[in-house]
A and B are shown apart, each in its own frame.
Chain A
Amino acid sequence: MDQRIAQFISALRASGVRISLAESADAFQAIEEMGVMDREWFRISLRSTLVKEARDTEIFDKLFPLFFQPSQPPPMSDATKGMSPQEAQMLAQALRQFSQQLRQMMEKMLKGEPMSQQELNQLDQMINMDGMTDMRYQNWLARQMEEALNFPEVRKAMEELARMLREMGMNRQQVDKLREMMQANQQAMQEQIRDHAGESIAQNLSKKPRKEDAEGAMNRPFRALSEEDMHVLRKEVRRLAAALRTRLALRLKRAKTGQLDSKGTLRSNLKYDGVPMKLKFRDRTLKPKIVVICDISTSMRYVSELMLSMLNAIQDQISKTHAFAFIDHLEYISPYFERQDPSEAVRSILYQMPSGHYNTDLGTSLDKFVKEYMNTIDSRSTFIIVGDGRNNYNDPRTELFQRVARRSRNTIWLNPEPMGLWGTGDSDMLKYTPYCGRTFQVSNLAQLASAVDQLLLH
């Protein structure tokens, strides 16, 4: 049992749930306390000790039945029971018409024998299952196994058998009953195969080495990121953001720019007999407001998503964030983040404004911003643009950009392109730079993190 639990834990880890050694020790301790007799208690004990994020419970719920299901073969019924000797003979005769393999399979269906463990193992060897470490493959794998067992042929053969039996003069009702039972048995067997496929994947998962190469992915350029890297990075963003947040909070706390807090000063200096040795300040520095405009065209998607998730994660250190996205026009996207987590939010935003080809237009987007959302910017706001500045030869509208920049406290541009490429081709980057307080080249997550750290400096 212990080994099974250990396997389960490593399968969870391989599916991306962070489980520390201490937590797995807790799990064993909890099991010791609760026992393994009550399945529900067992499940809850494991879940409350291993899963610490609401979003990971889904993975847990999916994997749990694969590891801790009483693996009983599904109930099947014997179709040959209650047959008269005459009918049995007819059946045997009809069966002889089929090839050996088909006959064996059909006999199984008739007698209602589930696959034995040995047969299942043989099946595993027929199919290459290396690298099957995703539960989404379960149905696909089950189908592969069915095909290896010639299920489509067997299905046809069953119809054929029924036809033959009728021709041989078997009672019509009896034939129908036989056929129905065979079909039911086949379905049960399919169920068994599906369970087995799931279990095989689970086994593979638990053996899969964890390759969370966050360090490498952090320094990999955004344009070379795969979806899998993104998965790693999304998690990394959360960790980074936690570190950033602590730093920001400390910085705000230590900043001595608030008003003198006379009550606090009196109170904290009582120990010095009322001599004000330490001054207390009422207000910490005002938290920054952020207005961010993100290019979410295909080339910029990942950067923008990571930027938005990072901002979202440090939300409590920012007084207000207004987020906008643009490709050829501008959309106000903050509401999406209130309800969904950032990667989902970005996905639904992209669904709302699908990226076509060569239509990025910051000029028009700025126009809309100035007309409709200028009130989001005041002297406390930091205005951030995430984009490559490639406008497809549309009018860059630098005069609008200047207006926005002048109104905000600071203007920052994050550009994933190497600086050497700025201003080449359709890049209007150099036209915008004079109005930016700072520009950063952010071509990987490490750079993005340091840029975010910088931009919240006062």
Chain B
Amino acid sequence: MLNENRFTTPAKLKDALTEQMYIANDEIATVVYLSQQLGKPVLLEGPAGVGKTELAKAVACAAGRELIRLQCYEGLDETKALYEWEYAKQLLYTQLLREKLHDTLVETTSLKDATDRLSQEEDVFFSMRFLLQRPLLKAILSDQPTVLLIDEIDRADAEFEAFLLEVLSDFQVSVPEIGTLKAAHRPLVFLTSNNTRELSEALKRRCLFLFIDYPTLEQELAVVRLKVPELSPKMARQAVELVQRLRTMDLRKSPSISETLDWAKALVTLNADNLDKATLDSTLSVLLKHESDLQQARRQLFSPSSRDRRQDNNSLGSQRWSN
């Protein structure tokens, strides 16, 4: 199926993802495939918890590549993202090797000689041995193809974004003391963003854009069935229908897929065989994390207004919960 950890068609990629318990639609599969073929990073956007990070993990597993993750946060800089010299280790080594150094320098007569002599050895101290590899450098230096996940890029500062551009465009880094390091294999790169701020045009230009939205009922049901097979099909459908309905409400934070899964697991643990008022009441807080959202959801679910009832006449919801 895999040829040097590459996928040959989008359809194969989709199947491989399904094997990794990730249900991808055609769009996701095609864009990821394109990214592999064109060697361009994928910028994943979408509401929190729709599986952006999960996609990168699934692709890494499916391709049998190592996943290297760089979590972004405010104040992240090159030393945390790319590389840093291990000064402590360098110092320690000079201390320990003092005698050896002494031996090397003992024959020299003048200061100039000693310096010349030492400078011949200086490569020892600025070698890969003392280079602390951070995620980006690790992805570049890896001798196996990897998947690089740059998570929540919108949290990093704008300067870091500019720095990232350089790395992402040629996958090479120059370390002044060592020289230019070039990637042997171009990693598959995923950037995720929750859109808390506008990303720069330049970054967007270099990426393929993929917006992952909340899944449709059928897709979400498939995910729940796959990940929580213990839940009975009937219950799974009811649960997903309820979640989908919650998403249409005007909430501060709509439930995400991961929350649906948590809830499904909770229902299994509680051995619930019916979504009655008591079960809902005790488990709704798994889905909704704001008190005001909870109250609103309870109001609408337990005593739907006449308008709601008419709208939802067909869904099992209102019949079951209205009284």
Give residues in A with beta carbon < 8 Å to B: 18, 20, 22-23, 26, 29-30, 33-34, 40-41, 44-45, 47-49, 51-54, 57, 238-239, 241-242, 245-246, 249-250, 267, 270-271, 273, 313, 315-316, 338
Contact = CB atoms under 8 A, between A and B. Distances in A.
B77 to A, nearest CB: 10
A44 B26 contact: yes
Given A33-B38, A41-B10, A245-B158, A54 B211 contact: yes
Contact of B158 (A41, A238, A246): A246
Contact of B210 (A40, A48, A267): A48
A271 B200 contact: no
A316 B10 CA distance: 38
A47 B28 CA distance: 12
B90 to A, nearest CB: 8
Size band of the B side of the interface? 35 or more
B37 A33 contact: yes
B192 to A, nearest CB: 14
A34 B33 CA distance: 9
A315 B206 CA distance: 25
Contact of B159 (A20, A34, A238, A250): A250
B27 A44 contact: yes
A173 to B, nearest CB: 38
Contacts of A48: 30-31, 34, 42, 208-210
Contact of B38 (A29, A271, A338): A29
A45 B205 contact: no
B291 interface: no
Contacts of A238: 198
B157 interface: yes
A316 B207 contact: no
A249 B159 contact: yes
B87 A316 contact: no
Contacts of A338: 252
Contacts of B198: 238, 241-242, 313
26 contacts: A22-B205, A23-B205, A26-B40, A26-B208, A30-B34, A30-B38, A41-B10, A44-B34, A48-B208, A48-B210, A49-B34, A51-B209, A52-B205, A238-B198, A242-B158, A242-B198, A246-B159, A249-B158, A249-B159, A271-B85, A271-B87, A273-B91, A315-B196, A315-B197, A316-B196, A338-B252
A286 B174 CA distance: 34
Contacts of A250: 159
B201 interface: yes
A104 B9 CA distance: 52
B34 A242 contact: no
A242 B252 CA distance: 27
B34 A34 contact: yes
B45 interface: yes
B159 A52 contact: no
Contacts of B91: 270, 273
Given A41-B10, A52-B204, A34 B196 contact: no
B144 interface: no
Interface of B: 10, 26-27, 30-31, 34, 37-38, 40, 42-43, 45, 74, 85, 87-88, 91, 157-159, 195-198, 200-201, 204-211, 252
A47 B211 CA distance: 10
A53 to B, nearest CB: 8
A52 B197 contact: no
Interface pairs A-B: 4 shortest CB-CB: A270-B87, A52-B204, A44-B30, A48-B208
A305 B60 CA distance: 44
A239 B202 CA distance: 12
Contacts of A313: 197-198
Nearest to A49: B208
Nearest to B26: A40
Contacts of B196: 315-316
A61 to B, nearest CB: 12
B203 to A, nearest CB: 9
B30 A34 contact: yes
Contacts of A34: 30, 34
Nearest to B10: A41
B249 to A, nearest CB: 12
A127 B91 CA distance: 83
Nearest to B157: A249
Contacts of A29: 38
A271 B37 CA distance: 43
Contacts of B26: 40-41, 44
Interface centre among B10, B43, B87, B159 (most CB of A within 10 A): B87
Contacts of B30: 34, 40-41, 44-45, 48
Contacts of B159: 246, 249-250
Contacts of A57: 211
B171 to A, nearest CB: 17
B155 to A, nearest CB: 8
B209 A20 contact: no
A246 B201 CA distance: 13
